[in-house]
Amino acid sequence: MAGIDGSMAHLSDSLFTTAIAVYAVAMVGYTAEYAFGRKGRIARTVPVAARERELVGAGAGPVIAPAAPPSGPPAAPPRRPLAERIGRWSLGITVVGLLLHATSIVVRATAVDAVPWSNMYEFASVAGLVGVLAFVVLLWKAPAIRHLGGFILLPVILLMFLAGTVWYSRATPLVPALQSYWLAIHVTLVSIAEGALMTSAVMTMLYLVKYRYDRRPEGAGRLAVLAARLPSAATLDKAAYRVVAFAFPLYTVAIIAGAIWAEAAWGRYWGWDPKETWAFIVWVIYAGYLHARATAGWKGRMAAWVNLTGFTAIIFNFIVVNVVISGLHSYAGLS
């Protein structure tokens, strides 16, 4: 195993910190689009067709359409509203942050001469990267959720801040137990799956807010302002489901790969180590979620709570099991 390249490790840390700052700028931009843009302001505006129906119903007579404008050269397309332009810029800034973030991981790998996710700091960095990437990919299918980017970036920034402070580990060579190609397979799949599931959890929480508002708008209270600017509950629910449908097979393969690695390292496929046990619990919960989605009586709100329960189990597995409970998987890297 080659020695640690200190300059590369320092560069990786600098890129990591810069990525947090760039994400923070993008989050401010998304928040501006959310607060001042036109998307989601269904509580403050009434569609033109609805206003026309109200006038006719009140006896005001039919609404006469204005005369067609005189022919002439076509008018220049209207300029996009400032809030929408800020949202588009924020997406570009997010992509820049993704590139800086990904580069910090690649440079860290070069510094340690191994895949850089052998401790909590490195794992959290990869999971945060995937969480942001999952949101960017979702925008291709659901561009209407762009103004929700601040809700995605906030937990990512918090995760990266904890990774860079509380869970930070200096670049060191891999411990002997981790010097296996199974590390690249098993942990990579887990980090991708859990990073994506973080995005799904955020979408699910927003769905529950929107669902409550749609059912009882008069009782929404302080959530009314938030809910009024959200996309439809169906859009949020579908986005959360799509991410879980993508991540669950990866998580399943990761557990299988981990069992094969355990047999090669410890002579048994499964030993009910705390990490293994909670990984299985997470798998069962998300399997139940996907099953609930396919069952008519468990769609919507009930299935959403199952989704959040699964992500709560992920948080417990990542923080409590790594830090508090000792086991064969105790590679948190904390001093």
Average of per-residue pLDDT values in the chain: 81
Q: Which of 26-35, 225-234, 263-272, 278-287 has the lowest mean pLDDT?
A: 263-272
Confidence band, pLDDT 50/70/90 cuts, at residue 328: low
Tell me 221's DSSP state.
T
Q: Is 287 domain-assigned?
A: yes
Condensed to tens digits (0 to 9), the pLDDT of residues 191-208 reads 899 999 999 999 999 999
pLDDT in the model for residue 70: 54
Tell me the residue length of the chain: 335
Instruction: Give the total number of structural domains in the chain.
Output: 1
What value does the mean pLDDT take over residues 279-286? 95
Q: Is 319 domain-assigned?
A: yes
According to DSSP H, which parts of 71-180 are helical?
82-112, 120-141, 149-164
Q: Is 194 domain-assigned?
A: yes
Q: Is 92 domain-assigned?
A: no
> What domain range is 308 assigned to?
175-335
* SS3 call for 171: coil
Q: Is 81 domain-assigned?
A: no
Q: How many CB atoms lie within 10 A of CB 139?
A: 16
The percent of residues in the chain predicted with pLDDT above 70, rounded, is 78
Q: Please state, in angstroms and rounded to a whole number, the distance separating the CA atoms of residues 218 and 221.
A: 7
Q: Is 158 domain-assigned?
A: no
pLDDT in the model for residue 66: 54
Do the beta carbons of residue 314 and residue 282 sit within 8 Å? yes
Q: Please state, in angstroms and rounded to a whole number, the distance separating the CA atoms of residues 144 and 238.
A: 13
pLDDT in the model for residue 2: 52
Condensed to tens digits (0 to 9), the pLDDT of residues 306-317 reads 999 999 999 998
Question: Is pLDDT at 94 greater than 90 in this prediction?
Answer: yes
Nearest Cα to Cα of residue 23 among 152, 198, 137, 196: 152
pLDDT in the model for residue 74: 57
Q: Is 113 domain-assigned?
A: no
Q: Is 65 domain-assigned?
A: no
Condensed to tens digits (0 to 9), the pLDDT of residues 23-72 reads 999 999 999 998 887 654 433 443 434 333 433 344 444 445 555 555 55
Residue owning tokens 């799509």: 242
Q: Please state, in angstroms and rounded to a whole number, the distance separating the CA atoms of residues 179 and 197.
A: 27
Confidence band, pLDDT 50/70/90 cuts, at residue 322: confident
Condensed to tens digits (0 to 9), the pLDDT of residues 109-156 reads 888 877 777 788 988 999 999 999 999 998 888 888 898 999 999 999
pLDDT in the model for residue 69: 57
pLDDT in the model for residue 213: 83
